[in-house]
Amino acid sequence: MERPNRQTGANLILVLVAAIWGGGFIAGKMALTDMEPFAVIAFRYCAGAILCAVFLFKRIRAASFDLIKKGVLIGLIQVTGQAVQLIGLQYTTSANQSFLCSSYVAFVPFISWILIGKRPQARAFIAGLAALGGIGLISLNGSLEIGMGDSLSVLFAVLFGLQIVAVGIFADENTDVFAMSFFQMLTAGLVGLGGCAVLGQWTLPGGTESWTGITYLAVLNTFVAFLAQNWAQKYARDTTAALLMSLESLFGFLFSVLYYHETITVRFLLGSVLCFGAVLLNTIGKKEAASETD
């Protein structure tokens, strides 16, 4: 009798996680007012790794070499994606990026097909076309060119899809995902420090806005959201979890409009509907398939 209550609680937690992630687009923009992209990465993930080390020390100490390797590989994929995302955010709006990044859901089935030979269902192809249509409406200008910021946001969506597939491959039921994620964050933080050294991006938050942004990213977006997500996914259905977490793009859009008063056009709204429709088509399709096998 306890599980339904836990499922309800887990679902509410996942909505909170989506809201935190949605706010992360604003926080990233705020952090970039005084900081360079690799400085944001270094600060965010080193702080997240330190918090993990404080609260999860016993799990981390018991980690096997195989688990460390998995965490490092996922961390390398993650930090590459984060660098692309933050550089892109310098050249586009947070509202644009929130929906463009959500298109990762449409890319995941095709990345799985390439890496593990799992052929996507027909609805995945429809979702992919919808996502491409949405990307075009949001990003293409009058000359049918896509801006650098939007291009990098789409590339981030592909890399994030790759990260999700990698986690799915590496994280079986015997894997301590909390310990693995410490090494994932540590790797991202160290690469961020390396990027700062090579590119000379040793910048610190200089004002209230950048301090607020980087603190949000380090504490809420990285540490709190990660722990909440991993706890909730133990009790929520996978398909329900995916659907609830996809609300990130809607929260990101809402926060962008409220905080930055970004101009919303009919074309943007149509593109957003297509991108979010692609997300729903994939997640709802999986839910139906899962219910047929129950």
pLDDT in tens, 207-226: 899 999 999 999 999 889 87
More confident residue, 291 or 50: 50
Residues 6+ apart with CB under 8 A from 294: none
Q: For 5-9, 106-110, 280-284, which range has the lowest pLDDT when averaged over its residues?
A: 280-284
Q: For 69-73, 92-96, 144-148, 247-251, which range has the lowest pLDDT when averaged over its residues?
A: 144-148
* Mean pLDDT comparison of 114-123, 131-140, 217-226, highest-scoring range: 217-226
**Are the CB atoms for 69 and 175 separated by under 8 Å?**
no
**Distances from the Cα of 155 to the Cαs of 78, 107, 151, 186, in angstroms?**
12, 11, 6, 23
